[in-house]
Every structure is written in C-alpha cells, then in structure tokens.
Amino acid sequence: TVTFSVYADTSAASLALLSGNLDFIGWGLSVDDPGTIYNIGGTNRSLLFDATIVNNPGFTQLVVGFNLRGGRTTSDSEFRLALADTLSPLLARQAHANTIVSRSPVINEAVPWFNPNLPIYQVVTTEYPAPTYLLTDQNQRLDSAGYFDRNGDGIREKPDGSPLSLVAIGIPVAESSRIFTIQASTVDVFSRLGLAVSLESVPSASLPARLASGNFDVFIASLPTDLDPGFLSDYFGSAGSKNYVHVLDSALDSSLQSANVALATASRQSAVMSVQDRVMNGGYFVPLIHFNALEATVRGSFAGWVNMPGGVNNFWTYQKVHVSLAGSLAAGLTILPTSVKAGATTTAIAKVTDAEGAPVSGAVVSFWIAGSQVASGTTDGTGTLSTAITAPSAQGATDVQVTIQASKLGYAGATTSAWMTVTPDIRALAVAVTSSAVTIAPGTPATITVTVTSGGSAVSGATVSLDVIGLGGKVAAASGTTDVQGKFTTTFTADVGPRTQFRVVATVTATGHSDGTGSTTVIAEQRVGTVEPRVIAGLDTTTIIVAVLALVVIGAIAAMMGRKK
C-alpha cells in the first residue's frame, strides 16, 4: 500500500523521513537540502550522512534538441536524423562515468527511465571503451538528401547550393566542464560529417530565453523534468511553455492530452509511449543521460530501487512510461519473384516475430538496397509488412541484396537480408530509314533520315552507323547519334553513268536495348531527254542529207563494178 502525504516544505518532509514516519521524499532536493542538520531526539542527523537514508539521483536530463522552425536546416527530417544518428551516449559516459545513459529509437544504447536492477527493465549496454563508430550511414543519408560538398572545400552546402552553417548552443565551460566536454564532442562529430558548426556558450540563466527566441539550430542542455509525465506537454505540446524545438503536431498533442488525463495504467502507458516514439523517431529531442537531481528514501524499504537514476519515483510514477524489454525481435524477408528486370517492381514481404515466435504488430520496418532506404512501413496484426520495391539498374544479370531493419520500442531490433537477381531491361529498337528522293541524278544529294523509337517513344542518344551497298554511292556522315526526337540525318550522293540502285542500311545501338536495323533504297541515273544532232559549221541540214545519200550511191556503184570484173 502506498500512502501519499503532503508537507509544507522540504524541512518538514526531511524531519518526517528521519523520524521514521515517511519512506520517500517525492520531489527534487536542492543542493543544500541533503546536508541540512535536524535534531531528532537530541541527535543531529541529516539526509546526506544518515546510514538509514539513501539519496537517489533523479531525472535531470542532458539532451540534444533540433530546431524545427521553418527556414532552419534542422527542420529537414533527413538532415536532422542524420545528425541525431551520430549521437552516442557512450561518449557522454566518458565525462559522466557514474550516470546512466538514455535511449531513443535514434540512439539505442539503453532504455529511457529504466531500472537495471529489475529483470523486466534490464537492457544490454556496451561499456566504454566501445567499438569505433563509422559515419558511413550518416554521410550517405546527407548525400541522399542533397547536402553535398560542391566546391571541394570540405564543407557541405544546402541542396540548392547555398552555404550551410549551424549554430549549436550550450552552457559555458565555467558552469560545468563535463557538460561542456560533451557539447564540444558533439559539435566535433557533426564537423566530421562535413558540416560547418559553431558552438556558442550561453549562461544557464539566459538559456531558456535564447531557446524561446528560436535563434539556434542545435542545443545541448541539461533540462529538469518533473515527477509526472505531464512535463512532456511542456516540452512537446504545441502550446508548451518549454517547447523550445517548436514541435507543432496535432496528433502529438492528442497523445499528450491522453497521457495527462488517463486514469487506467494501460491507457496512460500507451499514450506516453506514443508520445515518446513520435518525438524520438522524429529526432526532435534526443536524451543522452540522466543525472544531478536528488531524492531521498529509507534504505531497504524499496529493495532494488535505490542508488540509481530514477530511484523510487521511477517505480511510483515513471512505471507509466517504462519500456519493458520484451526480448529481441526476429525478422524474416521473402522476395517474390526473386528474378526481376531493372526498373521493374517486385514484392518484399517482411515478417517480424518475438523471441517466442509470436507475430509482433506495430514494428517499424525499413527496406534498404546498397545503403539507401527504398521503402518503410509498419507490420500488421500478423507481424507482416508487404511492400513493392523497384529493382536498380544492372549491366548484366546481378545478384542484389535487400536488407530490412525491424524495430519496436521495448524490443531489441533485428536485421536480415534476402537476395534477388536483377537482369537488364532489354527493349527492342524500331529503326525507320527514309530518303527525301527515290531517284537522284549523279551529284545531286538526297537527305537520309534515320528515326529510332522503342515502344512508340523516341530514343535519344542512340548510336547510328550507316553502310551503303552499291559502288559509287556514299553518305556525308557514316555515323552519329539521335537527337531528342530520336532522329539522325545525313545526305547521300552517287557518281554513276548508267542506272544504279543503292541500299542505305542503318545499324542502331542504345543502352538497355537490343540492336536495331533499317534500310531504304535510292536509285541514281542519267537524266533522259531529247538528243540534239551535232551541227557542222557552214552546212545546213539539207546539204548534209544530200551528201550522205551521194556517198551511199557511190558506194553501191563501186560494189557492182567490182563484181563485174
């Protein structure tokens, strides 16, 4: 049985705790409260030095937030998630060795608000030193979103080519050298992505006003939380007083409202998990670690719940937002059909189950080919997600790996792959060859036009080679490429005397197509017309005819005389 009592101030509550009338002080203690001396039955006692009392660190969080206001580069979800994905709580642990790391769907080192001493809330973490993290995926994500280094200076530009720079704000080193170290490390990681990032120190007292102004891209700050999930509305509600990242989401507002008013534990838990999932999957607000607040509880009263972040209030209040790990997900992937032409679609079927083989609904599944995400979705009640994926281009028959990543809050994620064979999409070319004239005179050109289509559409950039069958004929250009209308033109000429028939043959090649041929016929011949007799100067036609007849008669007489002899 849990009985809540209201006290006027911390002193009254501390006195009751030390006197044995109270088990837990359920609000944050100030820096001086644990050391305050109380006279209990003539003995000076304090929360800090009393053997029966345990001080529990609470829920001040070190977080990284991204400005969602329009005009800020961090409002681009792909850009923002690429940055968020680089954040590792294990780096923060180097500066905060005695703290516990947080987790989000973006950074998966631990679970938010959990107690590692109870099995249902245990997670597996990798202690420092951890393996080196490569930034390949994050660099590819920025490339895919259009953030390139276009001028070779090592700094990425925006998709429109304009300069890109980010302002990160945090507290000065004088306030906390360990937090400043994490701030500087975070900026350094962003810089390794090829981003120009400046770190600006803002005193803690001025930080809320600066965040409210919206004059920042990224903030790294220690933010307090209250003992009730109602604090989520302050940070993420459209009208929240601490909505520094400028989240405007009606669906999120609805879940926040449900989290604040629901009396049933299951309903409240579901609403809070929806809020957490939406906020963290969007990369708006990424918690790194919890530290620095204090509560006090009687030692031994809550076995397994003391000496850790969250402490007793983790159980009493934050049980509503716990993510109890239900084990690991298992994922299967089937591709039907497994053989597909480049540019065509095939069906990828993901099946997600838990460690016992039961289907898991609501799991987020992303599909990847060659490092690029090609599809995503959520599993249905049978743990299944079916989606169409487009086969990439291929020069020849190529085996292509399709990988899926499955995740759901409360489970360790799963990854698996399957293969499909991609063949080039070879299409037929239709080649038409025409001549501007069927018959030409020697030396007179005819225009030869080659038109290339495929499936009724013009094929531009196709390579055309021309051959002339027949001696004496030639084309001005024996090869070339088609224009945007799928046409290539040249001229044909022939130098012949008698009538000659020529054939102009076009052979066409184009990427992704089978070769095509076409031809046309051109006839070359002398022009036919009236033949004029040659005229000898000084003789008219009649004289010439008489002379010819005389020669014929003389020839005949001579022949007769010869026979008489």
DSSP H or E run through 199 = strand 196-201
pLDDT at 556: 66
The answer on pLDDT for 225 being more than 70 is no
pLDDT at 60: 62
Give the pLDDT confidence of 507-545 residue by residue, as tens digits. 999 987 888 999 999 998 876 444 444 444 555 556 666
Handedness of CA 207, 212, 215, 220 (dihedral sign): positive
More confident site: 380 or 229: 380
Give the pLDDT confidence of 152-188 residue by residue, as tens digits. 898 999 999 999 999 999 999 898 777 888 888 888 8
Residue type, 384: T
pLDDT at 308: 40
pLDDT at 560: 67
The answer on pLDDT for 57 being more than 60 is no
DSSP H or E run through 207 = helix 207-213
Q: What is the mean pLDDT of residues 343-361?
A: 90
More confident site: 35 or 29: 35
Do 217 and 72 form a contact (C-beta atoms < 8 A)?
yes
DSSP H or E run through 466 = strand 463-469
Give the pLDDT confidence of 252-286 residue by residue, as tens digits. 888 888 877 766 666 776 777 777 778 777 888 87
Q: Tell me the pLDDT band of 18, cut-offs 50, 70 and 90.
A: confident
CA–CA dist 258, 455 (Å, integer): 57
Give the pLDDT confidence of 140-162 residue by residue, as tens digits. 889 999 998 988 898 999 999 99
Q: Which CATH architecture has domain 427-524?
A: Sandwich (2.60)
CA–CA dist 13, 220 (Å, integer): 34
Do 427-524 and 330-423 fall under one CATH topology? Answer: yes
pLDDT at 219: 92
Do 370 and 392 form a contact (C-beta atoms < 8 A)?
yes
pLDDT at 63: 81
pLDDT at 227: 43
More confident site: 248 or 98: 248
Residues 6 or more apart whose Cβ sits within 8 Å of residue 409: 105, 273, 276, 277, 323
CA–CA dist 68, 86 (Å, integer): 19
- Note the pTM of the prediction, 2 decimals: 0.43
CA–CA dist 169, 414 (Å, integer): 35
pLDDT at 309: 40
Lowest mean pLDDT segment, chosen from 84-98, 365-379, 392-406:
84-98
Q: What is the CATH number of domain 330-423?
A: 2.60.40.1930
The rounded mean pLDDT for the chain is 77
The answer on pLDDT for 96 being more than 60 is no
Comparing C-alpha atoms, which of 287, 372, 362 is closest to residue 78? 372
Residue with tokens 């829920």, as numbered in its chain: 59
Q: Which CATH superfamily is domain 60-286 in?
A: Dipeptide-binding Protein; Domain 3 (3.10.105.10)
The upper half-sphere exposure of residue 467, i.e. CA atoms within 13 Å in the direction of its Cβ, equals 6
The upper half-sphere exposure of residue 298, i.e. CA atoms within 13 Å in the direction of its Cβ, equals 12
Domain ranges of the chain: 10-55+293-323, 60-286, 330-423, 427-524
Comparing C-alpha atoms, which of 320, 316, 409 is closest to residue 58? 316
Task: Please give the full DSSP string across 427-450, using - where no structure is assigned.
Answer: BPPEEEEEES-SEE-TT--EEEEE
The answer on pLDDT for 117 being more than 50 is no
β-pairing verdict for 372-378 and 294-298: unpaired
